[in-house]
A and B are shown apart, each in its own frame.
Chain A
């Protein structure tokens, strides 16, 4: 992704203000706050708003509207990102209303993915608030005819030190015409002065959610809007031979039936046929779809889970041409080992199952398109839409400026509004549903709301691919002298950065290899891609290795991290000694490379989990399992607490320690952490999905088992709280959870688990 620097000049934001017009429709529910018993403050609308920059505008009464730039999928950025802006603006949170920004190139990275919103936004959001504050101060100083440095600000009030005060509302108009201060003139707060960051703040949409207000994509309504459903091939690898729509067209309310063809996630040239039914209500569209008589034929070979398994098994046992990472001499370490421990771990495909099924509103007109709905990658979708509509003028591929001009011209025709999303988990990174909706609106010549049924959603996924991992450890003198990880995956292999995860850099002879098979089943990112199962495999394996060499699993990890620290120290020493970059590079060639993690932070999180969980003095009858993983820039260590109930192990509690640096909003952070752990446990226990003759094995919740309340343990959350720059929480607490419970089950029953879902493999759980 190209990194773009935020600008705070007026021209850029004016462009944005126009695009985000439409007032506070989705931002705040004014009416629900007026009840007599209600002690929540009533917010009074200003008579006039003044745009200060792209992120905020201020009313003449001091009320502030903050535009939240990134898509909200339940990770709570719609509250936490504005909190960061409000902090630096120095306004009372009670005087803030939040509105979701639309897609606008002024913002950088309007994406919900990779747990990166807060980490990427940390500097720019603070700058947005602080720059605006400086403009307000400059306006007040001008009025008082003093130097801005003589002013101070607290909660929306500017003082001049002589007893005079001006509110933000009073100077908003003047500030809106001020020059934007230079970046070096903008001073950010020190952490000790934070009043909003680090405090519990309710979800800005809480009132709307608990009263059922329209918030989600599926709630979109427009004048003259029709409803659309799609019939998709029952199996991956099929194409449409023919369709008889005569019965469908007889269904009351059905307006039209259209064949469409759309790109698939894998392969630039692969497409899928669908049949769209457009009607006056969702139910009529669904009935019309049922009445279609479609004949499908094989296009590419239909695949089976049994074949995938056989292929993946063959691949984890074969030699890779080139390793992703190789340190020392692993072959020698294994040849000289006293003992080699070798285990294979297997995971199935997984659908995302967002509670809100895929849907989108589209209204294509001759020279513009309105798009509204839930998508994690709005810019990507816009790009696909304009290409699909043929709106990009031809340009010389060599000429970058011409390309940019052509794109900008096409993008100007697109108005894309993001709604709150009923979950994302990576499924809405691929906007195939946006393309569906666009195509259908175009051919039907009407504004349409596309809705996929749950069955379409589950059977038309971009699945977490089935992956097998083989893990090998060479043991000599009760120490791990060699480590070998082999991956065999469907369609895509782990990112190279994941080969740098712990225990990389902690073991002298270390190797990571991978293999893949190509499949016509579409796969993609699923919450914590790759690590969602890699962590389970590795953390279960380390537990077993510790047991085999007679070590406490936590102590063994701490010893390994101490080894990694030595490597990091060698790097630090060289950096201290050699200042010439080229020479340093050469000197470092003699060292083992560093991993993607900081050993000190990892050690601190693990020790905290050990201490908070009572690892060393557990209650009798309580069985513990440990797991720790670093991913998405956040450190997580977990202890699962299991008791035996009616001869079955039951997870009562998970102690979860998190180092995500500074915690922006603990109230929401804890919620997200608890959810991530529960999600990790649920999918490790129950998540099962496969294919027979290309056809998904399940398509609704009567077959597909998601974790439900009785199975969800209590999640006890602790923060390391070291004040480092904040990182994200959407994903990193999920990966370690599967191994935490599996290791606790082993403590309780002696059974080791290698295959997910555990209910299927385990004799006692199932």
Chain B
């Protein structure tokens, strides 16, 4: 066990964990932020997507020892009051079915919009292809990303 100080959603937190513990389980089991989801554990489904210094990362494949000083944002910290344009758009389009993949979808889309404020269909397709939605809400995810780009 080692001690790490992480910056999560703007708050500094001290955590005891094995160095190989994926950030996903640190967030879920230790910090108690369960919005970030486990889907595959091998960076294939996107359910665990978070931001590390603003970039979308798969927290299931990111050991705690690799974070250092970098700032972490999870779905819980995307906005203070559910007012991020993507959250507004998700509400407007009523995107989720089961909802399990949606935090990862939103976090991945947020990183996309940060780099590309006005993405084309192809841009969205290629940025979002790492995020599986088993319920098949892809039509609405795409529409909501386009709506968010206009907000």
Instruction: State the A residues within 8 Å of B (CB).
Output: 32, 34-35, 37-38, 73-76, 200, 202-203, 205-207, 209-216, 218-219, 221, 227, 252, 281-284, 287, 353-357, 420-425, 451, 453-454, 667-668, 671-672, 674-679, 682, 700-702, 706-710, 712, 714-715
Using a CB-CB cutoff of 8 Å, which residues 83-125 of chain B contact chain A? 83, 87, 90-91, 94-103, 106, 124-125
Given A212-B33, A281-B25, A283-B29: A709 touches B131 (CB 8 Å cut-off) = yes
B107 to chain A, nearest CB (A): 9
In the assembly, what is the distance between CA of A513 and CA of B56, in Å? 53
Q: Are B1 and A252 in contact (CB under 8 A)?
A: yes
Q: Which residue of chain B is the closest to A668 with respect to CB atoms?
A: B94
Q: Are B98 and A701 in contact (CB under 8 A)?
A: no
Asked whether, in the complex, the Cβ of B129 is within 8 Å of the Cβ of A708, the reply is yes
Looking at the complex, which one of A282, A672, A700 makes contact with B42 (CB distance below 8 Å)?
A: A700
Contact A355 B47 (CB under 8 A): yes
Instruction: Decide: A357 and B38 in contact? CB cutoff 8 A.
Output: yes
* A-B CB contact pairs (8 Å), 25 listed: A35-B81, A38-B83, A200-B94, A202-B94, A203-B99, A206-B91, A207-B82, A210-B103, A212-B36, A212-B74, A213-B35, A216-B37, A216-B99, A221-B32, A282-B38, A283-B29, A355-B101, A355-B134, A356-B98, A420-B98, A423-B100, A453-B41, A671-B94, A679-B135, A702-B40
A707 CB to nearest chain B CB (Å): 7
Q: Tally chain B residues at the interface, Cβ within 8 Å.
A: 63
Closest B residue, CB atoms, query A665: B94
* B72 part of interface (Cβ distance < 8 Å): no
**A209, B136: Cβ atoms under 8 Å?**
no
Inter-subunit contact A672/B33 (CB<8 Å): no
Q: How far is the CB of A557 from chain B (nearest CB, A)?
A: 26
Whether the pair A211, B82 counts as a contact (CB closer than 8 A) is yes
Cβ of B141 within 8 Å of any chain A Cβ, yes or no, is yes
**Structural contact, B91 and A283, CB atoms closer than 8 A:** no
Q: Are A671 and B101 in touch, CB under 8 angstroms? A: no
The answer to whether B29 and A209 have CB atoms under 8 Å apart is: no
Asked whether B96 lies within 8 Å of A203 as measured between CB atoms, the reply is yes
Residue of B nearest to A672 (CB): B97
B18: CB under 8 A from chain A? yes
**Interface residue from A76, A227, A283, A354 paired with B134 (Cβ < 8 Å):** A354
Q: Please pick, from B90, B101, B128, the residue contacting A206 in the complex, using a CB distance under 8 A.
A: B90
CB pair A215–B99 under 8 Å, yes or no, is yes
Q: How far is the CA of A227 from the CA of B132 in the complex (A)?
A: 26
A-B pairs, top 3 by smallest CB distance, nearest first, are A212-B35, A422-B100, A74-B98
CB-defined contacts of B128 to chain A, threshold 8 Å:
708-709
Shortest B126–chain A CB gap in Å is 7
Contact B38 A218 (CB under 8 A): yes
Pairwise interchain contact A252-B18, C-beta atoms closer than 8 A: yes
Instruction: Tell me the B37-51 residues at the A interface (CB within 8 Å).
Output: 37-42, 44-45, 47
Check if B139 is an interface residue, CB within 8 A of chain A: yes
B28 at the interface (CB under 8 A from A): yes
From B90, B98, B100, give the contact of A210 (CB < 8 A).
B90
Q: Report A-chain residues with C-beta under 8 Å of the C-beta of B55.
A: none
B40 touches A701 (CB 8 A): yes
Main secondary structure of the interface of B (DSSP, over half): loop
User: Could you tell me the distance between the alpha carbons of A583 and B128 in the complex, rounded to whole angstroms?
Assistant: 64
- Closest chain-A Cβ to B98's Cβ sits at a distance in Å of 3
Interface contacts beyond A451-B38, A702-B40, A708-B130: sample of 7 additional A-B pairs, CB < 8 Å, sorted by A? A37-B83, A202-B94, A206-B91, A355-B45, A679-B134, A709-B125, A709-B138
**B62 sits at the interface (CB 8 A):** no
- Given the known A-B contacts A209-B102, A678-B138, are A76 and B97 also in contact in the complex, defined by CB atoms under 8 Å? yes
Tell me the smallest distance from the CB of B53 to a CB of chain A, in Å: 20
B136 touches A712 (CB 8 A): yes
Taking a contact as CB atoms under 8 Å apart, the answer to whether B134 and A706 are in contact is yes
CB of B61, distance to nearest CB on chain A (Å): 12
A210, B91: Cβ atoms under 8 Å? yes
What is the CA–CA distance of A667 and B47 in the complex, to the nearest angstrom?
A: 24
| A710 and B126 contacting across the interface, CB-CB below 8 Å | yes
Most buried by A among B37, B38, B99: B99
Bound CA–CA A675/B125 (angstroms): 17
A708 to B105, CA, bound (A): 12
Closest B residue, CB atoms, query A449: B29
Q: Name the residue of chain A whose CB is nearest to the CB of B36.
A: A212
Kindly state the separation between the CA atoms of A708 and B126 in the bound complex, as whole angstroms: 10
B34, CB-defined interface residue at 8 Å: yes
**CB of B147 closer than 8 Å to a CB of A:** no
- CB-CB < 8 A to B96: which residues of A? 74, 203, 205-206, 209-210
A421 to B106, CA, bound (A): 19
Min CB distance A685 to B, Å, is 13
A423 contacts which of B35, B98, B130 (Cβ < 8 Å)? B98
Assess the A676–B136 pair: CB atoms within 8 A: yes
* A595 and B107 alpha carbons, distance in the complex (Å): 49
Which residues from chain B contact A219 at a C-beta distance below 8 Å? 34
State which of B21, B42, B83, B131 has its C-beta within 8 Å of the C-beta of A35: B83
Chain B CB count within 10 A is highest, among A424, A675, A706, for A675
Asked whether any CB of chain A lies closer than 8 Å to the CB of B133, the reply is yes
A423 CA to B141 CA, complexed, in Å:
17
Task: Name the distance in Å between B148's Cβ and chain A's nearest Cβ.
Answer: 12
Q: Are B100 and A216 in contact (CB under 8 A)?
A: yes
Bound complex: CA A712 to CA B138 (Å)? 7
Instruction: For residue A532, give the distance in angstroms from its CB to the closest CB of chain B.
Output: 14
Assembly CA distance A355 to B49 (angstroms): 14
Closest chain-A Cβ to B79's Cβ sits at a distance in Å of 8
Query: Are B76 and A423 in contact (CB-based, < 8 A)?
Result: no
A281 touches B29 (CB 8 A): yes
Given A202-B94, A420-B98, A700-B40, answer yes or no on A674-B136 (Cβ-Cβ < 8 Å): yes
Most buried by A among B1, B135, B137, B140: B135
Q: How far is the CB of B75 from the nearest CB of chain A, in Å?
A: 4
